């Protein structure tokens, strides 16, 4: 799909790197992008529906690409497609079975599951998510309780289990990955040169305040064009991010960060939604800064 809504075949194939870094052009199921809205309301969308016997992921997430693979960044259903790939590669009946056998069991993670319906013992331990109300909500209470998934449709895990996974990956002898794969985990995900193919994906990512800029501790959106304000897996920074203290060598996720070279890991969990809630970000940055500069 191009800027004016004219669809054409992608110029390059989608790679594993594209899927892992959300740079494949694949949108989310309910992505509000104007081009997708126009496509959904077109006869072409109705005619493009996958058959009823297609896997659920294919039926839910078959949408036109928003850009050529590697030429942009947009948080979407890339990981969902990866689950289908992993399941077929492993030969397991379900993705949850593969993760249980390959990750949860080897690390003895007893508070993690992709099948929450079979783990009622975890239901009572889940954090109740809330949304901070703003001025537009009038005199309503300061926070609104968000409804729970019934059952949750994604990963359910404890912070300690997440820390165990990250600690294994950055250890001298990881059990989940080969040493070579562990080094790739902390390597640069996007090119930092304006002449490199993946540079446009980096630019898009740096401007995404919800999924990257605010959780990573970038001081201000205006600073996102400065490569020195980004962790190394997105640009070759030699300095720490000022708010979070993330050092050179940090691999970033909104709820966790791990620094491969110093061999340290840190995580932060919050009950506030969305992830870029200002008060929650302030708490996360104070925690991360203390962890990263101790």
| Segments in the chain below pLDDT 70 | 1-7, 134-153, 186-199, 206-207, 209-241, 247-267, 275-276
pLDDT at 228: 46
pLDDT at 231: 42
As a whole number of angstroms, the distance between CA 234 and CA 254 comes to: 14
pLDDT at 47: 80
pLDDT at 72: 86
92-101: string of b/e by CB count within 10 Å (b at 16+)?
beebbebbbe
pLDDT at 156: 87
Q: What is the DSSP string of 256-271?
A: EEEETTTTEEEE---S
pLDDT at 108: 96
Quickly tell me which residue has 């820390």 as its tokens.
Answer: 163
As a whole number of angstroms, the distance between CA 257 and CA 267 comes to: 6
pLDDT at 105: 95
Backbone angles phi, psi at 23, to 5 degrees: -115, 20
Beta pairing, strands 130-132 & 272-273: parallel
pLDDT at 256: 52
272 to 42, 130, 166, 216, 261: CA distances (angstroms): 37, 5, 23, 16, 31
pLDDT at 237: 45
Q: What is the DSSP letter of 230?
A: S
pLDDT at 252: 57
């Amino acid at each position: 799909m191009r800027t004016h809504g004219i669809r054409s075949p992608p110029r390059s194939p989608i790679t594993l790197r594209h899927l892992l870094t959300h740079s494949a052009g694949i949108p989310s199921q309910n992505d509000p992008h104007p081009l997708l809205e126009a496509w959904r309301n077109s006869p072409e969308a109705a005619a493009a529906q996958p058959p009823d016997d297609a896997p659920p992921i294919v039926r839910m997430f078959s949408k036109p690409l928003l850009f050529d693979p590697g030429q942009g960044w947009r948080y979407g259903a890339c990981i969902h497609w990866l689950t289908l790939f992993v399941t077929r590669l492993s030969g397991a009946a379900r993705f949850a079975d593969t993760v249980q056998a390959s990750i949860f069991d080897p690390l003895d993670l007893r508070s993690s599951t992709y099948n929450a319906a079979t783990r009622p013992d975890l239901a009572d331990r889940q954090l109740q998510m809330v949304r901070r109300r703003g001025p537009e909500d009038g005199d309503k209470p300061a926070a609104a309780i968000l409804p729970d998934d019934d059952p949750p449709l994604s990963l359910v895990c404890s912070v300690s289990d997440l820390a165990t996974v990250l600690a294994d990956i950055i250890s001298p002898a990881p059990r989940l990955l080969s040493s070579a794969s562990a080094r790739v985990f902390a390597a640069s995900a996007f090119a930092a040169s304006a002449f490199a193919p993946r540079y446009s994906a980096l630019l898009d990512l740096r401007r995404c305040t919800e999924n990257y800029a605010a959780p990573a501790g970038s001081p201000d959106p205006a600073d996102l064009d400065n490569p020195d304000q980004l962790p190394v897996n997105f640009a070759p920074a030699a300095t720490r991010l000022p708010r979070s203290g993330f050092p050179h060598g940090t691999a970033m996720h909104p709820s966790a960060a791990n620094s491969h070279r110093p061999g340290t890991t840190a995580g932060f969990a919050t009950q506030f939604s969305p992830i870029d809630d200002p008060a929650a970000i302030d708490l996360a940055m104070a925690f991360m800064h203390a962890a990263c500069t101790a």
